[in-house]
Amino acid sequence: MLHRLISTTTAASPAGLPTQDHLFRVTSGPFAGRLIALYARTPSIIAWSCSDSPYTSWAAPADIISDASDDSAAAVMDGQGNLYVAYTQVTTGALVCVKLTFASGTWATQSPVTVYDSSTSANRNPSLQIDSYDRIWIAWTRDDAGSITIRVKKSTDGGLTFGAGSADAGTDLSGTTTDPYARLAARAGYLHCLFTAGGTLLKNRSISLDSALWTSAETLYTGTGLGRDLAAAVASDGMLGVLFAADGALFLKEFDGATWGALQTVSTNPAVSPSLSYINNAPHAQFLQAIGTLQNQLLESHRSEGDFTPPAGVLSQCAPLETLFCFDADAGVAFADLTSAAASATGADIFHSASGALVAHIDDAVYFGAEDQFTFLRILLSTVGSGGVIAWSYWNGAEWMTFVPASGGYHFDAANAGIRLFSDGGTLPADWQKTLVNNTNRYWIRAAVIAAFTTPPIGSQITAVPNLTTFIPLRA
């Protein structure tokens, strides 16, 4: 699976929070299957881009909002492909919603609607949901001069008004708390608001779609580290699941319409940006987990025969390398297999025993190998090299082809480097092929010394795992 670069961004949270959706698929009509991605292109501009199967290219970004604060926006798509985008206005702190009307394969931006505004409050972190009556619900965090609550309102007229209007603060679901995050989920005639509070509580409140009153809050979990890393999904059989990070682990709770089940452990390690979906009524969790400095790998676990499977990597191109060889041209045994050392975060353990370095002399080289083509390397050094020059190359089936990494030349001269070899999966060399290096068949990137080092580098960790910060799943 090769990623595609849609755009670059300078925003703080370009893809939003785990509690928010930003990627959608049109489900019916002549444009069924078309994807639309929403993101913050700058701290104040929210844009969209779309793509059709097989999703190898994306349209140029179209700006839809230019007055957003540098917070996080949320969106929801209705059955006709229309989108509703909620965000915080930069100058006022007001909560605003914009409808993108879908017609003839594109989205037209309508006039913004103020969901809530007051002179004393800042309104952030919205979550949107459409119920079975096509009413649009919005939950958000309201900070009114330090009094912080989770609020909720609904629109019965397609997003033209919410509640009693822009002065209506909505229903307080949490009471005054600190650092709360909310996620709305619709289930079989009910709407649920799942929210964290104070970093220590996960709570649920629900409302029948035929009622005007929310149930009292029920505590689902008490612990530490509860915050933005919260996801919810509903299975086809009506089961509601909530996936959340707490106490250095990742947990799942499920509600069958009558009772909440026992706590289930998905991962015993810290996780961020979790996502939950149900496939054949079985919960599937995807999440990011740190494997080293500035390296967050996307992992997946699902329930099988009552237990969750061990977390496994999702993206083959964003994973520890399958093979790493150090080659010392003057050594009796030229190749050193340092694959295990490269994957671990242990310091100062990636070096050839003959030279005591990663590379040192002319014609020494490091070979980075994987079963699939890859675009990125994270290189952590315990000793930074100096004086040397590195030539980067790939195998084209006949010879090693030299190239300059997309992020610029790198000569093992920085202790912590993210090397963007190629811009994205669409810019990989068309002639890059597997070949045998030390009797091992891989896609290889070679870093060879063409000018000797005065201070040879020593490595601590080298992987193909980038600093992923947010994972946003596809919503149909």
373/328 same-domain check: yes
What is the pLDDT, as a whole number, of residue 138? 98
Q: What are phi and psi of 315, to 5 degrees?
A: -100, 115
Q: Is residue 39 part of a domain?
A: yes
Do residue 366 and residue 285 come from a single domain?
A: no
Same domain, 263 and 189: yes
The ranges of the chain with pLDDT < 70 are 1-2, 476
* Long-range own/partner contacts, residues 337-346 (CB < 8 A, 24 or more apart): 337/438, 338/459, 341/459, 342/459, 342/461, 342/462, 342/463, 343/291, 343/461, 343/463, 344/461, 345/291, 345/292, 345/293, 345/460, 345/461, 346/460, 346/461
> How much is the pTM?
0.94
Judge if 297 and 328 occupy the same domain. no
Which H/E stretch holds residue 341? Answer: helix 339-343
**278 and 417 assigned to the same domain:** no
List the CATH number of the domain containing 161.
2.120.10.10
End-to-end CA distance of the chain: 20
Give the tens place of pLDDT for each residue, 93-140.
999 999 999 999 999 999 999 999 998 999 999 999 999 999 999 999
Q: What is the CA radius of gyration of the chain?
A: 25
Of residues 310, 312, 283, 323, the one with CA closest to residue 443: 323
pLDDT in tens, 132-147: 999 999 999 999 999 9
Residues near 259 by beta carbon (within 8 Å), at least 6 away in sequence = none
Do 208 and 310 fall within a single domain? yes
Residue 116: strand pairing partners: 95
- The string over 105-130, giving b where at least 16 C-beta atoms fall within 10 Å of a residue's C-beta and e elsewhere, is eebebbebbbbbbbeebbbbbbbbbb
* Nearest residue to 74 via CA among 9, 140, 120: 140
Residue whose tokens read 């996080």: 72
CB under 8 A, 24+ apart: contacts of 152-160: 152/182, 152/184, 152/193, 152/214, 153/115, 153/116, 155/97, 158/99, 158/134, 159/84, 159/97, 159/99, 159/113, 160/113
Is 6 within a domain? no
Q: What is the pLDDT of residue 411?
A: 98
Domain membership of residue 304 (yes or no) is: yes
Tokens standing for 336? 């050193």
- The count of C-alpha atoms lying within 13 angstroms of the C-alpha of 72, restricted to the half-sphere facing its C-beta, is 22
Does 15 fall in a domain? no
Q: What are the tokens at 54?
A: 């097989």
* Residue 126: C-alpha distances to residues 83, 205, 246 (Å): 15, 17, 22
Range of the domain at 390: 323-463
Q: What is the 3-state secondary structure (H, E, C) of 244-311?
A: EEECCEEEEEEECCCCECCCEEEECCCCEEEEEEEECCEEEEEEEEEEECCEEEEEEEEEECCEECCC
- Give 275's strand partners: 286
CATH value at residue 376: 2.60.120
Which of 446, 444, 428 has its CA nearest to residue 436? Answer: 444
pLDDT at site 1: 47
Nearest in space to 108 (alpha carbons), one of 160, 48, 58, 60: 48
Give the total number of structural domains in the chain: 2
Same domain, 130 and 254: yes
In a domain, 16, yes or no: no
DSSP 3-state of 426? helix
Distance CA(66)–CA(89), nearest Å, equals: 9
Q: Are 195 and 73 members of one domain?
A: yes
* Domain identity same for 266 and 402: no
Whether residue 1 is contained in a domain is answered as no
Q: How many other C-beta atoms can be found within 10 angstroms of the C-beta atom of residue 154?
A: 20
Q: Same structural domain for residues 421 and 309?
A: no
Question: Same domain, yes or no, for 299 and 341?
Answer: no
Interatomic CA distance for residues 58 and 6, integer angstroms? 6
Residues 42 and 114 in one domain: yes
DSSP per-residue string spanning 92-129? T--EEEEEEEEETTEEEE---EEEE--SSEEEEEEEEE
Which H or E run includes 40? Answer: strand 35-40
In-domain check, residue 363:
yes
Q: Which residues contact 211 (CB under 8 A, 6 or more apart)?
A: none
Query: Does residue 17 form part of some domain?
Result: no
